[in-house]
Structure 1
């Protein structure tokens, strides 16, 4: 096998690993964080309806339960987060290789924290293209479920809309560009955000690495600590 074909095969394998890692991470993120995301969206949409986060959480749980309440909009949330994280980590791997060429580093492992942060910054552009339409549907559904309750309390008819019918409605009324409403602010939020996320993550991994040890050898617990440091950014 030629050197170029070997590199191509290696890059493909790395891409599959990055994509799979992002996919699994996106699934875990939704099932852990969806209740708090629901609370966030409801408080942003109806700022005068709930006193605080605890009130909103308890009210949602008591009145709507877990599946229809705290986990409302899980299907589009799964699509959004799985799609975003899969593309993000796939793009991150390729953007690291791009930064390696730009900086002249002999190996991706030798990229600086700033180089990795820049790779995350670039990767976030591509993940934003996936996130924008799916997050739009998710947030609309979460808000619509709350409106449904208010309409029901006033004895008005309200037709429940699912993620697929809502997507079809937007496409019918606004076309494909309707799904990308808010793309510019999404990119402006995601790219700087992931610059600091990956910068914090890689920087923490480096700090947690013992002398003579590789960042890949720090173990699961320290990797999770590094991830939490990145998430705080």
Structure 2
């Protein structure tokens, strides 16, 4: 119980760090995913046309929710890891019950799926706020108005738009994240001949940052499809009725590069955000 509480508190602190450090990178990433273009040009236009405060557009939903999301991730990861650990201890071939990296991947993936119940709607609302027009053409004055209008158009299914691809991204992405982090920490321990408790804190942060790079490199295409679907219109204005249609149109328009739109800002964001999460 104490370990789970510790993981939840660490997750909440890490979630706040994710938002405050990563939001400016995230809005550039999302706009590139939704509309294409060049990262520097998108950044310049946000600064000149909307002002520097706009880099934190859509911050409230993740700031309120990402702490809970990351808390759930770490709490669920600890829970599923414990289940695998108990299973291993029951197998006489593994007396210590240590997890394989495959089991860490599964525990991380299941934690991501658990978290997706909350992260899906939060990210949908954030993306709507980040991609809406500026000034007089603004669609949503705030979070509550955005939620209300989505509900009016499609009800609960609208709130959970693109949930299938969100679940796939969360499972694979967080499976990779936790497994990469654990693998890197184990490598450092072997290279230095140290126990885990003897490793310096900054090295855990570096391992966390590198794990974040792996997460986005290997899950970015799913994130692109999710952003396109969640920034899409309603009714006659909706271009992507299904995940398959979004993938097909993205591939037709941009090929493999279309599935990696916004990867630059995503990777720039990943290192400090992920390092900050594991360092808290």
| Category of TM-score, reference length = shorter chain | 0.7 to 0.9
Structure 1 or 2, whichever has the larger Rg, is 1
Bigger mean CA offset, 210-219 vs 175-184: 210-219
From 19, 30, 42, give the equivalent of 1:56.
42
The CA RMSD measured in Å over matched residues stands at: 2.0
What is the match of residue 150 of structure 2? Answer: 170
Structure 1 runs (4+) greater than 4 angstroms displaced = 105-108, 157-160
The TM-score with structure 2 as length reference comes to 0.69
Q: Does 1:199 align with 2:175?
A: no
1: CA distance between counterparts of 2:184 and 2:168?
25
Q: Secondary structure at the match of 2:189?
A: coil
List runs of 5+ in structure 2 lacking aligned partners.
215-280
How far did 1:107 drift? 5.4
What is the match of residue 123 of structure 1? Answer: 111
Q: Secondary structure at the match of 2:79?
A: helix
CA offsets 1:66-96 (integer angstroms, 9 cap, x no match):
22x1111110122342232111111001011
What is the match of residue 3 of structure 1? Answer: none
Q: Secondary structure at the match of 1:208?
A: helix
How far did 1:14 drift? 1.4
- 1:32-111 aligned at under 5 Å gives the runs 32-47=21-36, 50=37, 52-67=38-53, 69-104=54-89, 110-111=98-99
1: CA distance between counterparts of 2:197 and 2:134?
49
2: CA distance between counterparts of 1:215 and 1:107?
15
- Higher relative contact order (Cα pairs below 8 Å, separated by 6+ residues): 2
> Is the Cα–Cα contact under 8 Å of residues 100 and 106 in structure 1 kept in the other structure?
no
Number of aligned residue pairs: 209
